[in-house]
Amino acid sequence: MGTKVIAAMSGGVDSSVTAALMVEAGYDVIAITMRLGMHDTIEIESDKPNCCSLEGVEDARRVATQLGIPFYAVNYEEPFRRSIVDYFADEYVSGRTPSPCVICNQDLKFGKLLALATQLEVNYVATGHYARIEREPETGRYTLRKGIDSRKDQSYFLFSLTQAQLSRALMPLGGYAKDEVREVARKYQLRTAEKPESQELCFIADDNYKRFLKDRIPEKIQAGDIVDQKGHVLGEHQGIPFYTVGQRRGLGISAKMPLYVTELKVHENTVVVGKNEDLLADTMQVEGVNLITMDRLPEPIRADVKIRYKDPGASATIYPLSDAAVEVKFDQPRRAVTPGQAAVFYHGDTVIGGGWIK
C-alpha cells in the first residue's frame, strides 16, 4: 500500500479532482466529508451547491465510489458552530468584519482533520485549495505559495497555517488552472465535473448575512445614530453588525456627496460616516501574526500586503511590535482598511505570513 492520505471532500469539483489526483499518484486514499450541519433557520431553493448540505455529502460519497476509495462522513457540527458560526456573529457584533474561511482552514481542515489523521495513523490531509506548498531544501522549512491560477489563488486564506500543519498538507490543485481541473474531472467522468461553484458562506443558505444575523442574534442588534466626523447626527442605523468600514449603500441618509462608513463605535452603538478621503490610511496594526517563512521578525521588512481577499496587494514596510503584532506602513494610503479582516504579507508569490487587522 502507498502512503496514506485523507482527501477532504466537500462534494464539489475541486475536492473531487484532488481525490482523483491522489489516487492517480499512488496514495492510499481515504475520502472524508466533514458533516458541519445546516446552521441556518431557513430552507431555500438555490442552484448554488452547499458544502454543508446532504447533497454535498452524497456527491462526495458517489465520487469516492467512482474512484474505488473508502468514504466516511464525520460529524463536526459542534466545533463548526463554535469555531466558525459563533465567531462570525461575534465579530460583527464587535464591529469587525470576519473572515471565516481562514478560521475554517486553521481549526477544521488542518485542525480537526489532521487530528483525525493522526488517530488513524494517516500521513497527510489533501484539500482542493488553489495554493502550493514547497519545502526549502536548505532549511527544511515549508513555504506557502500562490496557486498558478491568479483568479482562484487561495493562499490568502491559508496564512495562519503552522509549519506542523503545512508539513502534513497536500494541495495538488495549486499547479492547475480551474478549467484544467474541470478537464481532469471530465477525464475521470466524475459526477461533479460540471457542478457550479459553491457559495462563499456555506452556512448561510441565501448569502444574506444580515438576515442570518437577525435570525441568530436578534437581542444583540440595536438601532442607533449615524453621525458625521464631527459627531452630528445624520440618521439612524439598524444595528452595528449590519455595517462594515467602506460601506456606502444601505445607509438610508441623503447628502450632497457620497458618504461611507469610516468607523464603528460599538460601545456608543454609533456608525460614523465620512467622505471617501476619510477612508484612507497609510498605517495599520496587525495582531495574531503567524509567520511562515521565518520564526520571528527581528527587523523591519518590505512586502506586498493584501488587506482583503480580492485586494491585489500594495507595497509596505512591516515593523515588528512583538512576536505576535506588527505595524504596517504603506507606501501609498490604502482605502477602507477593515478591522477583523486578514492582512497577508507576500514576497512575490510566497506568503511571508499574516495576521488580523486591529
In the beta sheet, which residues pair with residue 75? 35
Cα separation, 177 vs 150, in Å, equals 9
Q: In this predicted structure, what is the pLDDT of residue 191?
A: 94
Residues of the chain with pLDDT under 70: 1, 38-53, 199-200
Query: What architecture does CATH give domain 280-357?
Result: Beta Barrel (2.40)
pTM: 0.93
Q: In this predicted structure, what is the pLDDT of residue 128?
A: 97
Q: Taking the domains of the chain in order of start, what are their residue ranges? A: 4-187, 222-274, 280-357
Segment 78-111, tens digit of pLDDT: 999 999 999 999 999 999 999 999 999 999 999 9
Q: What is the chain's Cα-based Rg? A: 22
Does 280-357 match 4-187 at the fold level?
no
Helix axes 13-24, 178-187, angle to 10 degrees: 60
Q: How many residues does the chain have?
A: 358
67 closest CA partner among 24, 13, 35, 109:
24
Task: Tell me how far apart the terminal alpha carbons of the chain are, to the nearest angstrom.
Answer: 48
Residues 6+ positions from 180 with CB-CB distance below 8 Å: none
Classified as helix, coil or strand, 329 is: strand
Given 51, 52, 101, 104, the catalytic residue: 104
Full DSSP string of 160-191: T--HHHHTTEE-GGGGS-HHHHHHHHHHTT-T
230 closest CA partner among 280, 270, 285, 284:
270
Cα separation, 271 vs 255, in Å, equals 16
Cα separation, 185 vs 190, in Å, equals 5
Q: In this predicted structure, what is the pLDDT of residue 39?
A: 53
Q: In this predicted structure, what is the pLDDT of residue 38?
A: 58
Residues 6+ positions from 266 with CB-CB distance below 8 Å: 93, 94, 95, 240
Query: Regarding the domain delimited by 4-187, which CATH topology (the fold level of the hierarchy) does it fall under?
Result: Rossmann fold (3.40.50)
How does DSSP classify residue 151? Answer: T
104 is catalytic: yes
Instruction: Report whether CATH 2.30.30.280 matches the domain 222-274.
Output: yes
What values do phi and psi take at 109, rounded to 5? -65, -40
Contact of 145 with 174, CB cutoff 8 Å: yes
Cα separation, 96 vs 326, in Å, equals 19
Q: In this predicted structure, what is the pLDDT of residue 36?
A: 86
Cell triple for 114: 489532521
The answer to whether the Cα torsion of 197, 203, 204, 205 is positive or negative is positive
Cα separation, 138 vs 136, in Å, equals 6
Measure the CA angle with vertex 98, ends 92 and 103; round to 5°: 135
How does DSSP classify residue 155? Answer: G
Segment 312-357, tens digit of pLDDT: 999 999 999 999 999 999 999 999 999 999 999 999 999 999 999 9
Cα separation, 349 vs 16, in Å, equals 26
